[in-house]
Amino acid sequence: MTKTLTGMYAALMTGLADNGGFDETRQRGLTDYVLKQDLAGLYVGGSSGEAGLLNVEELLAQQAIVADCAKGRGTTLIAHVGAPNLRDSIRLAERARDLGYHALSALPPHSYPFSDAEIETYYRDLAAATELPLIVYEVPIRTGRPIPLPSLERILNFPNVSGIKFTSTDMFKFSMLRRRCPEATYFFGFDEIYTTGAVLGADGGIGTTYNILGKLYVALHAAMRQGDLPRAQELQEASQIFVEALLDTGVLPGMKAALRLRGIECGPTRAPMALRMSENDAEAQMRAVLERPEIAPWLI
């Protein structure tokens, strides 16, 4: 079977004004920058885009801006539509369909301790709301709980569910799921250990640091596809140097500082998310890592 949704996708970040409001101009500038990095596509409105801190109207506006920026570029667009309630998720899904997005994705509901049956019902109903393929999401660090393997297997067999974004270090679970549902598409979500997922059969990746190092991750994916493990290890180690620097600043605030240094102003992160150090120190830290010989050649 040919899988249509494969390759490397930037988990697109969000452009905000200095006062924290959604900023269309900054979103356009950021989106245009990421679109130049030869990625398969963009994953819009997810955690990397601070979706949990945005309201539905802002997410709808972002969907439209990104669709407009990507028009005519041959870029695959995946809209993350996971909201705290199914009603808003369906609203986001329907708008993404109308804008020409190619697929949907969604966090499982996690505002309350939902049962496995409730999570399955959420995904079944969301998948049925449009004809677009749906990519489910396993991310225990965000939801506070893993979805059990039998439940994930059932979800992947629902109509219109085409795959999963797997952001977990339970690689045995990943492998078992691939064996049980071989026709699904598997995206791996930890940038700094993408090779682990690729070795075990990931069809591609979706990541935050792809916003600035997209070309590196495209090369890493190609190296794994070609069986060039030494080259893949070299590129993975470069990505880890960058990710390690972000751990000190906070991932999203540090990414915005790094983008600012590349001439892409996308504003601050929305409160209460904030830098873990002063702005000057964060920019100095990110400047130093961007200038490293392992990183600099991959920047545009």
**Active site (catalytic) residues:** 137, 165
Collapsing DSSP states into helix, strand and coil, what is residue 168?
coil
Helix (H) or strand (E) holding 29: helix 24-35
Nearby residues of 57 by Cβ (< 8 Å), 6 or more positions away: none
Q: Which burial class, exposed, middle or buried, applies to 87 when counting CB atoms under 10 A from its CB (0-12, 13-18, 19+)?
A: exposed
Nearby residues of 220 by Cβ (< 8 Å), 6 or more positions away: 194, 195, 198, 232, 235, 236, 239
Candidates 150, 159, 208; CA nearest to 180 is 150
CA distance 182 to 177: 8
